[in-house]
Chain A
Amino acid sequence: MGDVRDELGAAETLESRGTRVDRSPSASTSTKKFLRVNNLHVSFPTDDGVVKAVDGLTFDLEKGQTLGIVGESGSGKSVTSLAVMGLHRGTRAKTSGEIWLDDEDLLKVSDEELRSLRGRKMAMIFQDPLSALHPYYTIGSQLIEAIQVHERISKSSARTRVVDMLGRVGIPNPRRRYEQYPHEFSGGMRQRAMIAMALINNPELLIADEPTTALDVTVQAQILDLMRNLQAEFGSAIIMITHDLGVVAEIADDVLVMYGGRCVEYAEVDDLFHQPDHPYTWGLLSSMPRLDRLRQDRLVPVAGNPPSLINVPPGCAFHPRCAFKEFSPRPCNVDDPALLESYPKHDSRCHIPVPMRAELFAERVAPKL
């Protein structure tokens, strides 16, 4: 695990994570995590310059666990998920690093192998189910296709499986729904159909890219509940990509906060919310209005706008918007902070010394949350 070296300090992180005690019981028998992403880079050459969408990302994920990836638009979270699915192949994107799923490096396998993995061993739920489903085919035939790509199976037994799966994701009257087209489904039902399609081959890795963003809260609660139950049943590993810290708190075991194509904070969910350790994470928490309590003060927004990924600010990408850079002992606009372990199993990327950060959070941020 410690053979990856890069200037960003990912290696240190990896080593420190090697000793990590996992919460799942199966981890004691195998030391290797199910999914291991090492130093992933994805960039897109454009006329205006190179867009560094993902810049040295490292994380891992065990079966039965959920990793939440949080960030604003343009932080690189969706590009990361597409890279894991191998959906940048054949585009102009340049991808480097390693993505190990079990014993295969997904960036090295042939297109054919990748096709056989996709939809079977790993599957994805997209944000917008209306554009991810084919409008000309019935829901049933699209789900059958998802099975038949990977298995030789008669249409009638495939049909039985599809109807069963539609029922399991909470679609009422699945036999009738099977014959219907996507436009006949409501938003929530479409998202369920997408989830059914993703789960039909019982994938071990499920990537959900903002699966509930377009949905109402009541439907969102149903879908999150469904994903939790299905995970308990199938033991899949889930990557949940979202901009909503509430969703993360509810569903994730580990959280990775992205900013400008990089990980700025990586921690277990309890630690992230109780001792957030990066000024950007503080910014996200203090700019959110909360349902459960009333803030007397005004919201504290993060000043400015997210960075352009073509011209990422030098040094720490967050420094132009950081309200705490005066506390840094080093020039944030010059020196690039490394992703270092602040606490056990809790990494963040900031020059401010860890004790001072804890103090700043306790004194200046937490009282306003």
Chain B
Amino acid sequence: MSLLTVTDLKKHFPTYNQKILRTQGAPVKAVDGLSLTLDAGETLGLVGESGCGKSTAGRTILKLLEPTAGTIEFEGRDVTHAQGEELRHLRRELQMVFQDPYGSLNPRHPIGQIIAAPFEIQRVTPPGGVKKEVQALMERVGLNPEHYNRYPHEFSGGQRQRIGVARAIALKPKLIVCDEPVSALDVSIQAQVINLLEDIQNEQNLAYVFIAHDLSVVRHISDRVLVMYLGKMMELADRNSLYERPMHPYTQALMSAVPVPEPRRDRVRILLHGDLPSPQNPPSGCVFRTRCPLATERCAAEVPQPVELEPGHVVACHYPKVREVV
């Protein structure tokens, strides 16, 4: 049994017509039919351009946002509409690390209090007391436990992200959604935090949903990778098969656009033209067709269904074809 099973998840945000008040416009389909599974101890990378719905997906899975449709099952229980006490208990198992290490810590609270907040909210007293446990957590993530009473502004970006990690692992959750946890950090610091996340995962058999736009980081950390575009899944495969044999033209374009630290290397470069279409008014048929180099009339007419073309390699495209791009 998978730890997490998400089936046909949708999150639509209502919009209001600017001219006639109180009439609804077309909803923004931020996540539109996403299905995935995740095993204990596994890392699923969620990649895509900004606006593709990857953060909304992460937040909806954690029930920070109420799903519009679809189901979320955690350890076999349907938690799609969990509320109140049930939701509070669920949060012991599901945690989050946020992108912005500045905005996600209360500047008026010392970090000891920030890291202790999960114990307080869940009314849990760890053996040995809260303070001792918090200091052990600080030590675990590479912070000096003596800095217990310092405030967030006294820490660097990398250290603040470690505080966020300590808070997320305080209750020994089974799943953490990491929303761009390293993209605000410098390269040399990025590697420190990635290594920390990997170590903690190995110790505690944690599962991660790792949301990032950086395909190199995702390749390094993920077991499987899901590529999203405009609220929909384009391709889902295990890491090696996705990076070595991408089949969806969007995945190929995305990968070919990433600069590689090796000058004068001949690479395929698939340039996508134009911008992401509005998720309020997505293209008919395949949502990627307006920027796809392979699009035909069929793509405008028919929505491509996800098909498992190789074991574990699912592609939603009418014309999937393996192409090496990296």
Known: A289-B217, A294-B240, A302-B188. A246 touches B261 (CB 8 A): yes
Contact of B259 among A189, A216, A249, A286 (CB under 8 A): A249
Asked whether A247 is an interface residue with its Cβ less than 8 Å from the other chain, the reply is yes
Across the interface, do A291 and B213 meet the contact criterion of CB distance under 8 Å?
no
Known: A72-B186, A298-B198. A288 touches B271 (CB 8 A): no
Q: How far is the CA of A218 from the CA of B274 in the complex (A)?
A: 10
Q: How far is the CA of A222 from the CA of B220 in the complex (A)?
A: 25
Beta-carbon contacts of A289-320 to B below 8 Å, as 1s and 0s?
11110110011111101100000000000000
Q: How far is the CA of A103 from the CA of B113 in the complex (A)?
A: 60
Beta-carbon contacts of B194-208 to A below 8 Å, as 1s and 0s?
110010000000000
| Number of interface residues, chain A, beta carbon within 8 A | 48
Query: Which of B187, B188, B198, B274: most chain A CB closer than 10 A?
Result: B188
Chain B, interface SS category: helix
Q: Which residues of B contact A291 (CB under 8 A)?
A: 215-216, 219, 243, 255, 258, 260, 326
Across the interface, do A284 and B187 meet the contact criterion of CB distance under 8 Å?
yes
Q: How far is the CA of A210 from the CA of B186 in the complex (A)?
A: 13
Q: How far is the CA of A221 from the CA of B49 in the complex (A)?
A: 13
Q: How far is the CA of A216 from the CA of B272 in the complex (A)?
A: 11
Known: A273-B263, A289-B219. A217 touches B187 (CB 8 A): no
B183, chain A: closest CB distance, angstroms: 10
Q: Which residues of B contact A243 (CB under 8 A)?
A: 186-187
Q: How far is the CA of A314 from the CA of B250 in the complex (A)?
A: 50
Q: How far is the CA of A284 from the CA of B213 in the complex (A)?
A: 20
Across the interface, do B326 and A306 meet the contact criterion of CB distance under 8 Å?
no
Known: A224-B259, A249-B262. A217 touches B213 (CB 8 A): yes
Known: A218-B49, A291-B326, A294-B219. A301 touches B261 (CB 8 A): no
Q: How far is the CA of A279 from the CA of B32 in the complex (A)?
A: 47
Query: Which of B191, B215, B253: most chain A CB closer than 10 A?
Result: B191
Q: Chain A residue with minimal CB distance to B274? A: A172
Q: How far is the CA of A322 from the CA of B195 in the complex (A)?
A: 19
Known: A218-B254, A221-B271, A292-B326. A246 touches B220 (CB 8 A): no
Across the interface, do A225 and B271 meet the contact criterion of CB distance under 8 Å?
yes
Across the interface, do B195 and A301 meet the contact criterion of CB distance under 8 Å?
yes
Q: Which residues of B contact A167 (CB under 8 A)?
A: none
Q: Which residues of B contact A288 (CB under 8 A)?
A: 187, 191, 216, 261
Known: A217-B213, A217-B258. A305 touches B156 (CB 8 A): yes
Q: Chain B residue with minimal CB distance to A224? A: B259
Q: Which residues of B contact A292 (CB under 8 A)?
A: 260, 262, 326
Q: How far is the CA of A243 from the CA of B157 in the complex (A)?
A: 16
A223, chain B: closest CB distance, angstroms: 11
Q: How far is the CA of A300 from the CA of B191 in the complex (A)?
A: 7
Asked whether A188 is an interface residue with its Cβ less than 8 Å from the other chain, the reply is yes
Q: Which residues of A contact B240 (CB under 8 A)?
A: 294
Chain A, interface SS category: helix
Beta-carbon contacts of A107-120 to B below 8 Å, as 1s and 0s?
00000000000000
Q: How far is the CA of A287 from the CA of B190 in the complex (A)?
A: 8
Asked whether A269 is an interface residue with its Cβ less than 8 Å from the other chain, the reply is yes
Beta-carbon contacts of A180-192 to B below 8 Å, as 1s and 0s?
0000001111000
Query: Which of A220, A222, A243: most chain B CB closer than 10 A?
Result: A222
Across the interface, do B264 and A270 meet the contact criterion of CB distance under 8 Å?
yes
Q: Which residues of B contact A219 (CB under 8 A)?
A: 49, 275
A212, chain B: closest CB distance, angstroms: 9
Known: A294-B219, A299-B195. A246 touches B187 (CB 8 A): no
Across the interface, do B272 and A273 meet the contact criterion of CB distance under 8 Å?
no
Across the interface, do B186 and A289 meet the contact criterion of CB distance under 8 Å?
no
B160, chain A: closest CB distance, angstroms: 12
Q: Which residues of A contact B216 (CB under 8 A)?
A: 288-291
Beta-carbon contacts of B290-326 to A below 8 Å, as 1s and 0s?
0000000000000000000000000000000000001
Asked whether B36 is an interface residue with its Cβ less than 8 Å from the other chain, the reply is no
Asked whether A244 is an interface residue with its Cβ less than 8 Å from the other chain, the reply is yes
Q: Chain B residue with minimal CB distance to A271? A: B263
Asked whether B281 is an interface residue with its Cβ less than 8 Å from the other chain, the reply is no
Asked whether A73 is an interface residue with its Cβ less than 8 Å from the other chain, the reply is yes
B5, chain A: closest CB distance, angstroms: 28
Across the interface, do A221 and B269 meet the contact criterion of CB distance under 8 Å?
yes
Contact of A305 among B189, B194, B274 (CB under 8 A): B189
Asked whether A40 is an interface residue with its Cβ less than 8 Å from the other chain, the reply is no
A368, chain B: closest CB distance, angstroms: 12
Q: Which residues of B contact A225 (CB under 8 A)?
A: 271
CB within 8 Å of B: which A261-295 residues: 269-270, 273, 283-292, 294-295
Across the interface, do A247 and B187 meet the contact criterion of CB distance under 8 Å?
no
Q: Report which A residues bind B (CB closer than 8 A).
A: 72-73, 172, 186-189, 216-222, 224-225, 243-250, 269-270, 273, 283-292, 294-295, 298-303, 305-306, 321
Closest 5 CB pairs of A and B: A246-B259, A301-B191, A289-B220, A302-B188, A287-B191
Q: Report which B residues bind A (CB closer than 8 A).
A: 49-50, 156, 158-159, 186-192, 194-195, 198, 213, 215-217, 219-221, 239-240, 243, 253-264, 269, 271-276, 326
Q: List 14 A-B contacts (CB under 8 A).
A: A222-B272, A222-B273, A246-B260, A249-B261, A269-B263, A287-B187, A288-B216, A289-B194, A289-B217, A289-B220, A290-B216, A298-B195, A298-B198, A305-B158
